Structure 1
Amino acid sequence: MSKVDLSKYKNTLSRKHQIARLLWSVVWLVLARPLPRSIGNTWKLMLLRLFGAKIHAKAVVYSSVRVYAPWNLEMHEYACLAPEVDCYNVAKVTIGAHATVSQKTYLCTASHDITKSDNPLITAPIILKDQSWVGASAFIGLGVTIGQGAVVGATASVYKDVEFWTVVGGNPAKFIKKRVIND
């Protein structure tokens, strides 16, 4: 077997970033994860804000949520990150008012450029507009915008923007129907 030259594989995230991430991980693990679902939302939001998140006081973040970089998280009023959501926000994640990210969803703002031999890290933000809903165990890829009022079905994999007030599902996610509200 030939030797691989590892010198060209450089971590593009700074040492300061790595230390901040380590500190954040320990703080969340010790001071938020043990809290039961029914208490501590104000405390959890305060911890996220302490590390740079922009979060409305009426947002909800469950204790089992994993946030990679709180300084890249913005949540508006009544936005929700449900149990076991993995928010891999190397780039910014914005969750609009009354938007819900259901349990076990993976929000992924980073990948690698496979057109280059060293596969460098690439990032792009994820935006969930107001009143959108991402169903359980979905995957939302980097650079995706979920339009206002759109619904992403459970277990869907979304790699392209979702139009406002539409329902998508599947892998890859495809248009199912327009969303109609019957109040």
Structure 2
Amino acid sequence: MEPLDAGKSQSRTGGPSFSLGNRLARAAWMATWLLLARWTPPPLRGWRALLLRLFGAKLGRNCRVHASVSVWHPANLELGDNVLIGPGARLYNQGRITIGSDSIVSQRAHVCASTHDVSDPQFQLVVRPVVIGAQCWVAAEAFVGPGVTMGEGSVLAARGALFENAEAWTMYRGNPAAKLKARALQSGEA
């Protein structure tokens, strides 16, 4: 499955946002995940990582993607080392989602890399990549919106909704998310 172009409307004619080939590949992906991964226990994380890689995801070492996670398009997913994607998380990656090493996306969090052009009468899809830096935490049931970059070490508190970039080593909360406070650097970090 080919990754999609960032920041561009996927259809200029009012037709489907995705080609038939893309839709068939995603149907194969969804069937594969349902039949071969969705029921697996937590220790089979290596098996789930293999399935994601077979469908084009780029995963670092020791990634833990829970069986109940929803990944829309594996070819638009890149995870660094030691990334945890918690139970029920949704990676709605019509656009590219990149998550840096040692980051956590907690249970039922939602990361969304697309939106719609509200000035277009057909509301055509516009993909906008999301970048979550290293050592970040997207807490339970939080939402990271299209085009957002979370700087290294930033935190989005539970049920927060982030629509603008997050500064490095800063905590955010609320809807829309606002800065709460600076986050202390761990010893040995620059």
Q: How does the TM-score come out when normalised to structure 1?
A: 0.93
Offset at residue 12 of structure 1 (A): 2.2
SS in 1 for 2:115: strand
2:131 is the alignment partner of 1:117: no
1:43-71, CA deviations, whole angstroms, 9 ceiling, x for partnerless residues? 00000000000001311100000000000
Structure 1 residue 57 and structure 2 residue 61: aligned?
yes
Task: Tell whether 2:138 aligns with 1:150.
Answer: no
- For the residue of structure 1 that corresponds to 2:27, the secondary structure is helix
Coordinate RMSD, CA, aligned: 1.1
Give the corresponding residue for 1:24. Answer: 29
Query: 4+ residue stretches of structure 1 with deviation over 6 A?
Result: none
Return the alpha-carbon distance in structure 2 between the equivalents of residues 76 and 135 of structure 1: 18
* CA separation of 1:146 and 1:182: change in aligned 2, threshold 3 A: closer
Contact 1:60 1:79 in 2 (8 A): yes
Counterpart for residue 7 of structure 2: none
**Aligned counterparts of 1:164 and 1:181: Cα–Cα separation in 2:** 10
d(CA) in 1 for partners of 2:147, 2:59: 21
Structure 2, gaps ≥5 residues long: 1-12
Larger of the two Rg values belongs to structure: 1
Over the matched positions of the two proteins, sequence identity in percent amounts to 37
**What is the deviation of 1:182?**
6.1
Aligned to 1:9: 14
Q: Distance in 2 between matches of 1:126 and 1:182?
A: 25
Report if aligned partners of 1:136, 1:153 keep a CA contact under 8 Å in 2.
yes
Instruction: Give the whole-Å Cα distance in 1 for the aligned partners of 2:122 and 2:54.
Output: 35
Structure 1 match to 2:10? none
- Number of residue pairs matched? 175
The alpha carbon displacement at 1:94 in A equals 0.5
- Structure 1 unmatched runs, 5+: 1-7
Deviation of the 1:174 alpha carbon: 0.3
Query: Counterparts of 1:1-183 in structure 2 under 5 Å?
Result: 9-37=14-42, 39-181=43-185
Matching residue of 1:5 = none
Cα distance change on mapping 1:180 and 1:51 into 2, 3 Å: same
Q: TM-score, normalised by structure 2?
A: 0.89
> Contact 2:160/2:174 (CA < 8 Å) preserved in 1?
yes
